[in-house]
Structure 1
Amino acid sequence: MYTTLITAPELNTLIENGNVLVLDCRFSLADAGYGQRVYSEAHLSGACFMHLDDDLSSPITPKTGRHPLPDVDKLADKLRSYGLNNNLQVVVYDDCGGAMAARTWWLLRWLGHDAVAVLNGGYPHWVQAGFEVTQAVPQAEPGNFAVSLRDEMNLSVDEVLKSLDDQSITLVDARGAERYRGEQEPIDPVAGHIPGALNRPLTDNLENGLFKSAEQLQAEWQQLLGTVDPQRIVHYCGSGVTACHNQLAMAVAGITGTRIYAGSWSEWIREPARPIATIS
């Protein structure tokens, strides 16, 4: 069972044996139709498409961030329509270093499905390795996946706010350093970060489009966190998507038990009374 990363040759073997569900999660924040277009042009054999806004998130409300968690029943129904069973290996991919695919990886684990991995290097690495792509859209027999929701994997905004007083968690911000420091904010209306948060840009997990080795990731995360118990670590980002990349990177390094604040910065700033911090 693959639970963190899988290589292109390993995935190719699974596809040839017909015992894997592959999910294409390509998406662009600047162009919501991008993923469906490139999926229609070419995708991995047998891959089904998942849209970040339509499938992996729920509608935005005045109180939520930009990518609220999806409705559990709706997401489970979609996955079952693609043939998901509880014992089936799932592999997810994108074309941006896992930044989008990691969201699906986390969501499946949130639903109780552990056999899910991210294709290391994603679509570009798959093509570079010379493996097959197709335009054919698969027709799957519906699966019987049963949800076993793990609510404890996600913290609410109120739980995060409370932690500022009792210091029960250590927040890690996955956004770029300029956004974390409050020097610029190209997406959300308020710049800065949640007070006390550390910064680990998700791009630091990658080298040449691939995740760094487990040993290197372990050393880098330990340098950032010191002796902090992993169960105290809570990841966030702009909207709860790329925070999952940092959790995945820690899991690759063998550091498990961390959680996600899915509402993230775009939810945090919905209420002006919530404190923010900047670094000048």
Structure 2
Amino acid sequence: MSVVVSTAWLAERMQHYPDQTVVVDTRFQLQDEDAGRKAYLEGHIPQAVYLDLNKDLSAKAAKHGGSHPLPDMEAFAAKIGHIGIDHDTTVVVYGQGNDMFAARLWWLLDYAGHGDVHLLNGGFDEWLKEGRPVTTAIPALNAKTFEPVIRENAAVGIEDVQLKLAHQSAALIDSRARERYLGQTEPMYRRAGHIPGAKNFVWTDVLDDEGYWKNTDELAEHFASLNQDEEIIVSCGSGVSACPNVLALRSAGFTNVKLYPGSFSDWISYDANEVETKDE
């Protein structure tokens, strides 16, 4: 079963297995942190619950750790259980379109050991485009217990990144827009450029010209310059837009893929760390 599913698949799943399915709306805007919740309240897929990038899918930013650190996983697990998810629940996550925020929740649940999490291809836009039902009703929650089984080898910290780059024992990719990778512009952080040694694979390139997820053959071609036998560390600005690349790499057959949750925002929080602006 593919991680990425269609609106038709979700509609059928909700019709036949409503008690075994939880739909999560993750719409968000970095420039307006209340926009996603407002959009949810104005209309969402029936029975969908809302989770917020800043409040639910991240911890509060500190001096180190990046601008969207991973949440406390025990607290995250309790929150996930509260909205009706356990290890027997099928979870379908959507954003506005195929955005990075839905992939962030996919990654967190996968990191916590959940094996049945899917992304809605085209997100809420596709649901609307097909004329499917939308509601403003807030669903009643059926709380369950979610026991996390953390996949420790799915994430790396700054010490691992520094060590592996020094020994050239892993490939590092940067998922941000090319102009940010090259340091030509930086709208969010005090330093511009990228972690030395990182190669640029812009996360939106895992989508086709119409904004839908590329198939496995297309993704394999996209990442053909990378060695499947090598460890791949995926970064971005703060560990959010890296998540679509993690999913895409795994879909393309890469098995040793790890997220650097702190990413560039964590890297530059240490003044001694160098920053590069040339293409690599």
Q: TM-score range by the shorter chain?
A: over 0.9
Alignment pair present for 1:240 and 2:242: no
Q: Which moved more, 1:168-177 or 1:251-260?
A: 251-260
Q: Which moved more, 1:255-264 or 1:237-246?
A: 255-264
Distance 1:228 1:116 in 2: 24
Alignment of 1:229-268 (within 5 A): 229-230=229-230, 232-268=231-267
Alignment pair present for 1:217 and 2:182: no
Structure 1 residue runs without a partner (length 5+): none
Alpha-carbon shift at residue 219 of structure 1 (Å): 0.9
8 A contact 1:5–1:118 mirrored in 2: yes
Q: Percent identity?
A: 37
8 A contact 1:3–1:116 mirrored in 2: no
Distance 1:260 1:124, change over 3 A: same
| TM-score, reference length from structure 1 | 0.95
- Tell me the residue number matched to 2:95: 94
What letter matches 1:254 in structure 2? G
8 A contact 1:172–1:197 mirrored in 2: yes
8 A contact 2:97–2:126 mirrored in 1: no
Alpha-carbon shift at residue 196 of structure 1 (Å): 0.9
SS in 1 for 2:23: strand
- Tell me the residue number matched to 1:197: 198
- Tell me the residue number matched to 2:46: 45
Alpha-carbon shift at residue 3 of structure 1 (Å): 5.3
What letter matches 1:56 in structure 2? L
Alpha-carbon shift at residue 184 of structure 1 (Å): 1.1
Alignment of 1:1-280 (within 5 A): 2=1, 4-17=3-16, 18=18, 19-207=20-208, 208-222=210-224, 224-225=225-226, 227-230=227-230, 232-279=231-278
Distance 1:274 1:93, change over 3 A: same
Distance 1:234 1:98 in 2: 20
Structure 2 residue runs without a partner (length 5+): none
Distance 1:255 1:163 in 2: 18
Distance 1:85 1:97 in 2: 25
Distance 1:172 1:7 in 2: 29
SS in 2 for 1:278: coil
8 A contact 2:47–2:139 mirrored in 1: yes
Distance 2:256 2:166 in 1: 22
8 A contact 2:228–2:255 mirrored in 1: no
Q: How big is each residue's C-alpha offset from its partner over 1:32-69, in whole Å with a ceiling of 9 and x where there is no partner?
A: 00111000000111100000000000011111211000
| TM-score, reference length from structure 2 | 0.95
Distance 1:183 1:160 in 2: 24
Distance 2:222 2:2 in 1: 21
SS in 1 for 2:40: helix
Alpha-carbon shift at residue 256 of structure 1 (Å): 3.0
Q: Which moved more, 1:46-55 or 1:131-140?
A: 131-140
Runs (4+) off by over 6 Å? none
Alpha-carbon shift at residue 176 of structure 1 (Å): 0.6
Alpha-carbon shift at residue 252 of structure 1 (Å): 2.7
SS in 2 for 1:60: coil
8 A contact 2:234–2:259 mirrored in 1: yes
Distance 2:257 2:170 in 1: 10
Distance 1:71 1:239, change over 3 A: same
Distance 1:264 1:243 in 2: 9
